[in-house]
Structure formats: C-alpha cells, structure tokens
Amino acid sequence: MKIEVFFSPVGIDELGMRGRNVIIIDVLRATTTICTALSNGAREVIPTADIENATKISSNLSSDSRLLGGERQGKKIDGFDLGNSPAEYSPEKVRNKSIIFTTTNGAGAIHKCRYASTALVASFVNVSAIVETIVEIGGTWTILCSGRQGAFSVEDATCAGMIISKVKEVSEVDTEDAGLTTLILYKNYKKSILGMMKKSQHGQYLVSIGFEEDLKFCSNVDGVPVVPVVSGLVVRIKQPGSSAQSITGQTP
C-alpha cells in the first residue's frame, strides 16, 4: 500500500482531494466526537466549516430530528445544543438525530474531502477499525491531519503514525518523509498517548478551559470501534458486516 500524509489542510482544496482515498484525523476533538456520536446512534453527522451554514442547514430540518453541535475556541457556540466534548454525545441525546457539526479545524477538513473517492474519519478511538478497512480496500491512501489553526499538531500526526505502523504489521507500506516522521512520533509516544496529549498545545489549551476529561476520552485507543464514512455532505457509519469495498466510490 502507499500512504501519504498531509500535516494540515492548508493549501488543500476540494478538487485536490477529489478521487482520492482519504482518512481525516482531528484527534482533539472533532473526529473523536464524530465517532462517538455515530457509535451512540446518531443517524448522521453533517460537517460544515461555518456557523452561518450550520444554522441554515438546521433551519431546513425538523427540530425534533436534528441537533446543532460544535465549538469555537473550544467552547460551545451560543444557541447550539452541544459543544465538542465527545462525552456530551450520549445515546439519550443523539439517537436517530442528524447532527449539524461545525468546528474550527476538523469539520472544515472533512468538508474539503466531500469529492474524495473514499473518505473515512479517524482518531485514536477507532484506529484498528480504520486500519482493518483500509487494508481490505488496499491501494493508495492520503491521511489528512486537521492540525491546529493551519499548523502541525502532534496528536494528529501521532495518530497518523499509529495507523501507518498498524498497516505495516500486515502489509508493505510505501510512504514519504511526512509518513516516516509520523512513525517516529508514534514510536516515541505509543507508551503514553494521554501523556503526549497533555504536552500538546491543543491539549494544554483544552485543560486550561476545563476539558481535561476529554483528553482521557480521546486517548482511549479503540474505545469507539466504528468506521465513519463521508458520503457527499454527510458522515454515516459503515454497517458492521458490510464489505469494505461497499464504501468506496461514495462521493461524486
């Protein structure tokens, strides 16, 4: 397999992602929250880059079938139902709901992948499920790290390294300098993913605004073993038992 890594979505647009097999990562916290919402029974997540668009989509859906979720500066947006803490997305709150979701980095990165051939949402909480799926599909993959405000983030890159490392356990992997760097990071931090998050810039910021528990949740490797698939404008879960091939070529 061939796996390339982008450390941030800056300079990447929808057309650049078109036709690719992509894995989008925003460990703290967007992709962890999406995995959790879908695992807890949300019908779908609709990621969008800005608040105005989120509100517009929401006004087109019936109020008992949708929730508005997301953050700015890490905090719940005024008038929204939910913030961006994965634990908020409990089965009682999200079952059968469409979640319109806007976050600073992750939601926009996912939105940029809407024309990808296959686009999967990954985090530490679902890393093995993602690896199993991409190994079954094979071919060439791009890992898109959401990063932080356009810059590198160590937690996303370490998660990319964990994915590549696990693929290497079962298949040859051809990667480039960015991919090799993620492998070094993963080797360095694999004994304490939570420790790495506590040192990271965004981890420290989240602790400073009262979200230390989220770091524990987000570092729980394979705690939420789902495969969220981006299909045009929505993210839905791959049904257990369905073939990996059935999720390829989801988008135009």
Footprint on this chain of ligand MLT (rule: CB under 6 A): 26, 28-30, 71, 74, 84, 103-107, 206
Structure tokens at 164: 């590549």
Q: Whose Cβ is closer to ligand MLT: residue 101's or residue 167's?
A: 101
Q: Whose Cβ is closer to ligand MLT: residue 66's or residue 111's?
A: 111
Helix (H, G, I), strand (E, B) or coil at 206: helix
Q: CB nearest ligand MLT: which residue? A: 103
Q: Whose Cβ is closer to ligand MLT: residue 29's or residue 111's?
A: 29
Minimum gap (Å) between residue 126 Cβ and ligand MLT: 15
Q: What angle (nearest 5°) sits at the alpha carbon of residue 117, between those of residues 113 and 121?
A: 50
> Which residue bears the tokens 């059968």?
96
> Which residue bears the tokens 């939570």?
194
Minimum gap (Å) between residue 108 Cβ and ligand MLT: 8
Give CA torsion, residues 114, 119, 121, 124, to 10 deg: -150
Minimum gap (Å) between residue 27 Cβ and ligand MLT: 8
Cα torsion 234, 115, 103, 125: sign:
positive
Structure tokens at 189: 């931090």
Q: What is the largest CA-CA distance in the chain?
A: 49
Q: Whose Cβ is closer to ligand MLT: residue 204's or residue 239's?
A: 204
CB 181 within 8 A of CB 157: yes
Minimum gap (Å) between residue 239 Cβ and ligand MLT: 26
DSSP state of 172: -
Q: Whose Cβ is closer to ligand MLT: residue 164's or residue 206's?
A: 206
Q: Whose Cβ is closer to ligand MLT: residue 104's or residue 158's?
A: 104
Minimum gap (Å) between residue 149 Cβ and ligand MLT: 8
Minimum gap (Å) between residue 113 Cβ and ligand MLT: 14
Question: Which of 231-240 are b and which e, b meaning 16 or more Cβ less than 10 Å from the residue's Cβ?
Answer: eeebbbbbee
Q: Whose Cβ is closer to ligand MLT: residue 26's or residue 183's?
A: 26
Minimum gap (Å) between residue 106 Cβ and ligand MLT: 3
Contacts 24+ apart (CB under 8 A), 88-94: 89/33, 89/36, 89/37, 89/40, 89/42, 90/40, 91/40, 91/41, 93/67, 94/37, 94/40, 94/41, 94/42, 94/67
